[in-house]
Amino acid sequence: MSGAGLLLGLVLAVVLVLRSGGGGYGALGYSDPGAVTKVCAYVLRFVVDVASAVAAGSLAYALFFTASEPNGRLSPDGWAATWVAGWAAWLWFGGIVLMMPFDMADAIGVPVSEVLGPVDFAGLFMALYEPRAWLASALVALVVAVGCRVALRWRAALGLAVLAVLGLLPPVVSGHASSGAAHDYAMNSMAFHVVVAGLWFGVLVALSLHLRRGTGQVEVAVASYQRFATGCWILIAASGIFVALLLTPPAALVTTGYGRLVLLKGVALVAVGALSVVARSRAVRDRPHRLVRLAATETAVFLVTFGVTMGMVQVSPPAVFGPELSPVEIAVGYSLPGAPNLLNLLTTWRLDLVLGLPALVAAAVYLLGARRLRWRGERWPPGRTTAWLTGCGLVFVATSSGVGAYAPAGFSEHVSSHMVLGMLAPLLLVLGGPLTLALRVLPAAATGRAPGPREWLVAVVDSGMVRALSHPAVAAGLFVASYYLLYFTGVFGWVIDEHWSRMALNVFVLAVGYQFYWIVVGIDPSPRRFPHLGRLGLVFAVMPFHAVFAVIVMTMRTVIAENYYRTLTLPWFSDLLADQRLAGIISLVAGELGLVVAQVVLLVQWYRYDRLVDFRGAPTGEEDEETMAYRAMLTKLRQSRSG
């Protein structure tokens, strides 16, 4: 059944590509590259998409659907899934290598023979954005393919899985969702859509192979898959509907080729969901032996969906031919109501799906965790809850309020958002102690079962990478050097020019700030024990570097990322140097404020610590007992993994 689905998906992709004709090329000002170039480009794209999904999903299956051994090694079923992921990654890599010349020729409307020469190929590679995105994906596939041959432990497989998921994203940044009006929403939603769909399909393939082998605890994997598939179905439906409405007006769903493909894909996803949620539950209850047949049918429907997607990639959505966009709409995806005065900053809101929405979810999950502790009769300090909620609120404001909306258009607004994400919000988030709360709330996985959220969390926090990043010199270096390298080397001009790189920068800034403050004032014990005096000295050492950075920004006579800001042609940002001086002032005030508050918090923590320790150094008190319990738990887990 799966082989038939693969063949049907390929045939469907070819038929849709050939039926599209050359109208789409003519609308974009290009010639039809010919049937050979088009068919090879999209058939190879089909292979790449399927292989990348199998690689990422199989690694996820090895991690979260099979029970690892007590010493941290993957189980035989986990290793088998990793082995499948490795072969899929080689196919992923080889498919991209073969596809790139066809894809470049298709992009400019010429036969593939005209781009095979070294000079022509190199010139097109540098001129087009898509080949560089595919190259990034190919490099990820190569690393995953090699890594899967040597990964025997859970943490190694986790690193490869994260890398494989990131490898799914480069094609998104060069697709239909990356341009046009509201491309910020479209790209973010499409990223969620592609990642969730890829993981779902890959996990399904790994489960199907597991069922055919009939080894291990199949019933545990099936039960976990049913919950997983239901969640994926909901996320895919929500993101898919959102993207479809952005790229296709409702009236165009039945009047355009792209719209009809959207409806066809929707029907296929409904069928996949029905098989996963309804049919599978009945099979588990009545006839478990029917699971293999159901999994094969579900895989076949998924492959048909991939074929429909290839047809959608080949056809331009109606939104591409909408009204002419202003320079600001082209650059950031939406228009701005006017100058960034107080009224506009307070009334302009645009939800950020990468950090703004997760901040709201993180606040809600934290409240649920604190409430569960209270139900059990355990105390959770309200100050920590207040700090966490305030930190989440600052992240939401920095990314989704007027500050976040204007950040891509003005340097001072960008720096304001940057300072909140890197200097103020992380300070409050670490004071919330989310790791301690999670470890007190989450139950441990039963013996012989697949690792649960508690085990995943401990494995990440106690990993070698986190221990290395938590070294004071590394954390302080990243915290300070990132500002100088970003703004004084020309990197910022490249980063600010694309939506995806702006989102990646926001995530990076928040992560670096959180890592630094975790070491300095964090409630959750870090992997490295650092005395209060050393932490205070670390803050004092960082302060002058940040102050010097702010002064340099204020006194510079050249405009940072001038070409980008000039192309926006915003009348209220005509004096870019004045806006840059304002950004320097904001950086100085917000940055020094955050570091001073960190010093005050650290001194208070130091004072409380001294009061909790008697003259022999014996720890007493609630907070120190939490620290001791946390460290005892990590020690026990390390011993069990090495034993």
Arithmetic mean of pLDDT, 129-149: 92
Beta bridge partners of 153: 73
> pLDDT band for position 1 (50/70/90)?
very low
Least confident interval from 166-170, 266-270, 393-397:
266-270
Measure Cα distances from 112 to 33, 98, 184, 311 in Å.
8, 12, 32, 20
**11 pLDDT more than 80:** no
157 backbone dihedrals φ, ψ, rounded to 5°:
-65, -35
In this predicted structure, what is the pLDDT of residue 327?
A: 87
Give residue 624's pLDDT: 47
Bigger pLDDT: 456 vs 276: 456
Instruction: Give the sign of the dihedral formed by CA 498, CA 504, CA 507, CA 513.
Output: negative
Q: What is the mean pLDDT of residues 570-578?
A: 90
Q: What is the mean pLDDT of residues 599-608?
A: 86
| Whether the predicted pLDDT of 22 surpasses 80 | no
Instruction: State in Å, rounded, how far the first CA of the chain is from the last one.
Output: 44
Average pLDDT over residues 185-194: 88
Q: Which of 25-34, 557-566, 584-593 has the lowest mean pLDDT?
A: 25-34
- Quickly count: other Cβ atoms within 10 Å of residue 417's Cβ: 25
Query: Which among 104-113, 293-302, 568-577, 630-639 has the top mean pLDDT?
Result: 568-577
pLDDT exceeds cutoff 90 at 138: yes
Burial 376-401 (b: 16+ CB within 10 A, else e): eeeebeeebbebbbbbbebbbbbbbb
Q: How large a percentage of the chain has pLDDT more than 70?
A: 82
Higher pLDDT, 461 or 159: 159
Question: CA–CA separation, 4 vs 267, rounded Å?
Answer: 19
- The tens digit of pLDDT for each residue in 72-89 reads 788 888 889 999 999 999
Helices (H), 28-182: 35-64, 76-108, 118-127, 130-147, 154-167, 170-173
Among 405-409, 508-512, 533-537, 557-561, the minimum mean pLDDT is found in 533-537
pLDDT > 80? residue 23: no
| Alpha carbons 460 and 434: distance in angstroms, whole number | 14
Higher pLDDT, 406 or 532: 406
Q: How confident is the model at residue 148 (pLDDT cuts 50, 70, 90)?
A: very high
Higher pLDDT, 497 or 20: 497
Q: Which long-range contacts (CB under 8 A, 24 or more apart) does 276-281 make?
A: 276/226, 276/229, 276/230, 276/233, 277/226, 277/229, 277/230, 277/233, 280/222, 280/225, 280/226, 280/229, 281/226
H helices present in 109-129, as ranges: 118-127
Which pLDDT score, from 0 to 100, does residue 565 have? Answer: 93
pLDDT value at position 640?
A: 46
> Shortest CA distance to 514 belongs to which of 593, 394, 425, 602?
425
pLDDT at 247 over 70: yes
Can you tell me the mean pLDDT for 362-374?
A: 94
d(CA 455, CA 376): 21
The pLDDT of residue 389 is above 70 = yes
Cα 265 from Cα 273, distance rounded (Å): 12
Q: What is the pLDDT averaged over residues 254-281?
A: 71
> 514-523, 585-594, 598-607 — which is least confidently predicted?
598-607
Residue 111 has which token pair? 């036969």
Whether 175 contacts 472, CB under 8 Å = no
Residue 619 has pLDDT above 50, yes or no: no
Residue 576: the pLDDT is 93
Looking at residue 233, what is its pLDDT?
85
Q: What is the pTM of this model?
A: 0.87
pLDDT digits (tens, 9 = 90+) for 199-239: 999 998 898 888 887 766 677 677 778 788 888 888 888 88
**What's the mean pLDDT when you consider all of the chain?**
83
Q: Coil, helix or strand for 140?
A: helix
pLDDT tens track for 282-297: 545 445 456 677 777 7
DSSP type of residue 175: S
Q: Greater confidence, 369 or 223?
A: 369
If one compares 458 and 322, the residue with the highest pLDDT of the two is 458
Specify the pLDDT at position 20. 62
* 98 Cα distance to chain centroid: 27
Mean pLDDT for 23-46 is 73
- Asked which of 3-7, 321-325, 482-486, 624-628 is least confident by mean pLDDT, the reply is 624-628
Q: Are 53 and 197 spatial neighbours (Cβ–Cβ below 8 Å)?
A: yes
Residue carrying the six token digits 């929707």: 266
Lowest mean pLDDT of 113-117, 290-294, 333-337, 338-342, name the range: 290-294
Residue 299, pLDDT score: 76
Q: Confirm if 492 and 560 have CB atoms less than 8 A apart.
A: yes
In this predicted structure, the answer to whether residue 589 has a pLDDT above a threshold of 90 is yes
Is pLDDT of 621 > 50? no
Distances from the Cα of 596 to the Cα of 388, 441, 493, 548, 591, angstroms: 19, 33, 31, 16, 9
pLDDT band at 40 (very low <50, low <70, confident <90, very high): confident
d(CA 295, CA 291): 6
Q: Tell me the range of 48-62, 167-181, 247-261, 602-616 where mean pLDDT is highest.
A: 48-62
What average pLDDT does range 504-514 have in this prediction? 95
User: What's the rounded mean pLDDT across residues 92-118?
Assistant: 87
Identify which has the larger pLDDT, 503 or 112: 503
* Token duo for residue 514: 């959180």
Q: What is the pLDDT at residue 642? A: 44
Q: Which residue has the higher pLDDT, 5 or 196?
A: 196
For the cut 60, the answer to whether the pLDDT of residue 21 exceeds it is no
Asked if residues 480 and 489 have their Cβ atoms less than 8 Å apart, the reply is no
- Mean pLDDT score, 118-131: 82
Which of 17-31, 528-542, 594-608, 625-639 is predicted least confidently?
Answer: 625-639
Please say if the pLDDT value at position 578 is more than 90.
yes
Mean pLDDT, range 184-189, rounded to an integer: 88
Task: Report which of 604, 617, 602, 559 is spatially closest to residue 583, judged by C-alpha positions.
Answer: 559
Q: How far apart are CA 151 and CA 153, in angstroms?
A: 6
Q: Report whether pLDDT(438) > 70.
A: yes
Q: Burial of 48 by CB count in 10 Å (0-12 exposed, 13-18 middle, 19+ buried)? A: buried
Q: What are phi and psi of 75, to 5 degrees?
A: -70, 165
Residue 141 CA to residue 131 CA, distance in Å, equals 15
